[in-house]
Structure 1
Amino acid sequence: MSELFLKDTLELIHPDWSVSPRVRAATTTRHGGLSDGPFASLNLATHVGDDPQRVAANRQRLSQTLHLPSEPLWLEQVHGTQVFECGQAPVAGIPCADASLTRTSGRVCAVLTADCMPILLAEREGRAVAAVHAGWRGLVAGVIEQTLAQMDEPPERIAAWLGPAIGPQAFEVGAEVRAACLAADAGAADAFVPSPAGRWLADLYALARRRLQQAGVCDLSGGDSCTYSDAQRFFSYRRDGRTGRMLSCIWLEAQ
């Protein structure tokens, strides 16, 4: 490929929260890149079958647009609870984790999603930030609680923003998913309603909010998008199968 062509204007979503100006954060949509077909246009994942040259160009364009102070910390996400803490030392390879956190300015925490929920966490004065990949498995396993424990900040000083994920009218699951969620938290029953197909519609946002609030985090925002129903703005694995990934990132500017 000798030439790449920009498809459309890069579109970003920024959390609407009250935190220190040191805290910088954004989530991408599918707009503003160079990828084609099911990956059009701002696919930022290398593992989905997209042209590596286009993914690299998309990542470079995002970095330039956001003026990122460093390469995002890319993770191998496995729907678990491992949290990688990024400090001053260089990171070797791609950590296997579903969340990352940092207290160091200039290190960019990031997660890739296309229906699962990106959750961005910030200590309001800018002492620590984290990015969490939260599907239903991660929520049940405790990825939010594990991240908060490693942040080691008073929960009343944490702000949480829930990024674009599959919405409650589209996330149909089987009885086994509901049972797993209720086994971990009986109160999670309120996040499920019967579907016309005899299954269950799950509210991933409600499940995440409940977990955060139970952990003492009450400064919550976001949670008002649906990746599945908004094909113009978002990638959705459940809707399309072969598709791209959005990036949610957060970092601390130098004081």
Structure 2
Amino acid sequence: MRTTTVLLDACQGIRHGFFGRQGGTSAAPYDSLNMALRTGDQREHVLANRRIVAESLGAEHLVVARQVHGTTTVRVAEPWAADDAPEADALVTTVPGLAIAVTTADCAPILLCDPHARVVGAAHAGWKGALDGIVESVVAAMAEAGADPGRIAAAVGPCIQRRSYQVGPEFEARFLEADPASESFFTVGRGGRPYFDLESYVCLRLSRAGVTMVQASGLDTVAEPGRFFSYRRATLAGGGPFGTQASGIVIA
């Protein structure tokens, strides 16, 4: 299952996709298009799944970093082996035919492109990365590669939505301490506990970074078990293994 966005579809010479859990080789409970090498799935299945995504994007290689919920962006000039992946939560490239991707299981995947400068980016934004500045990091790296933030189009893919994201008061306090304007991204839910709108928060950070063309999918990874992997859903079910889905982009 591959989802594209109207906004990025309009970027000539760019191919992209937000992939769900369907169409791969992994057996249960990772069935079937699992991208994660570190959650217990068979390595050969994960590598085969990555090839499936690369081929779907029309690329020979799919480059994925070792994500750590940080703010580091790496500029990619050539593919690396899966075991040699650097720690980073965003990738940028200007190399045609080299697909870059992030993996998620509730965090927000962001795909970005400046088709005029032929620069693309992919970012993994969980609450911590978004709060600490991964959005600004990837936009700055794209600018260093020749992009203009005012020309960048960005799409936020399937992620945990507000209705599924109940958090504690200390979580909310951390955001409000950093920026009192963050209050608008929290609503009071069952038991008086707050719910957080990660998708809208990421869109705000994109806007603050100078990206005015932003589209969000509105798809909830927690609420659609047949389409998406979800860490939160697995946790609520008592824990256990789970997979991750890919979001990738390539310059044609």
TM-score by length of 2: 0.90
Match in the other structure for 2:238: none
CA change 1:140–1:129 in 2 (3 A) is same
Q: 2:12–2:115: 8 Å Cα contact kept in structure 1? A: no
Any residues of structure 2 matched to 1:9-48 within 5 Å, and which?
Answer: 11-17=1-7, 19-48=10-39
The aligned amino acid for 2:155 is: W
TM superposition shift of 1:125: 2.1
TM superposition shift of 1:90: 5.2
Question: Which structure's residues are more often helix, by fraction?
Answer: 2
Match in the other structure for 1:8: none
Q: Take 2:53 and 2:128, find their aligned partners in 1: how far apart are those partners?
A: 29
**Residue 67 of structure 1: which of 34, 37, 58 is its match?**
58
**Residue 79 of structure 1: which of 58, 61, 69 is its match?**
69
SS in 1 for 2:61: coil
The aligned amino acid for 1:24 is: R
TM superposition shift of 1:40: 1.0
The aligned amino acid for 2:113 is: A
Report whether the alignment pairs 1:112 with 2:103: yes
**Residue 201 of structure 1: which of 179, 195, 220 is its match?**
195
The aligned amino acid for 1:85 is: R
Cα RMSD, aligned residues only: 1.6
Any residues of structure 2 matched to 1:90-109 within 5 Å, and which?
Answer: 91=80, 93-109=84-100
Match in the other structure for 2:131: 140
Q: 1:81–1:146: 8 Å Cα contact kept in structure 2? A: yes
The aligned amino acid for 1:244 is: G
Identity of aligned residues (%): 37
How many residue pairs get aligned? The number is 241
Report whether the alignment pairs 1:250 with 2:249: yes
Report whether the alignment pairs 1:162 with 2:151: no
Write out per-residue CA displacement over residues 7-61 of structure 1, whole angstroms, 9 at most, x where no aligned residue.
xxxx111122154321111111111112222211111211111122222222233
CA change 1:154–1:59 in 2 (3 A) is closer
Q: Give ranges in structure 1 of 5+ residues lacking alignment.
A: 1-10
Match in the other structure for 1:221: 215
CA change 1:91–1:232 in 2 (3 A) is closer
CA change 1:64–1:151 in 2 (3 A) is closer
CA change 1:65–1:206 in 2 (3 A) is closer
CA change 1:91–1:62 in 2 (3 A) is closer
SS in 2 for 1:38: coil
The aligned amino acid for 1:61 is: I
Q: Take 1:202 and 1:91, find their aligned partners in 2: how far apart are those partners?
A: 36
The aligned amino acid for 1:245 is: T
Q: Take 1:90 and 1:227, find their aligned partners in 2: how far apart are those partners?
A: 29
The aligned amino acid for 2:29 is: P
Q: Take 1:57 and 1:104, find their aligned partners in 2: how far apart are those partners?
A: 23
Q: 2:58–2:97: 8 Å Cα contact kept in structure 1? A: no
TM-score by length of 1: 0.89
Q: 1:16–1:222: 8 Å Cα contact kept in structure 2? A: no
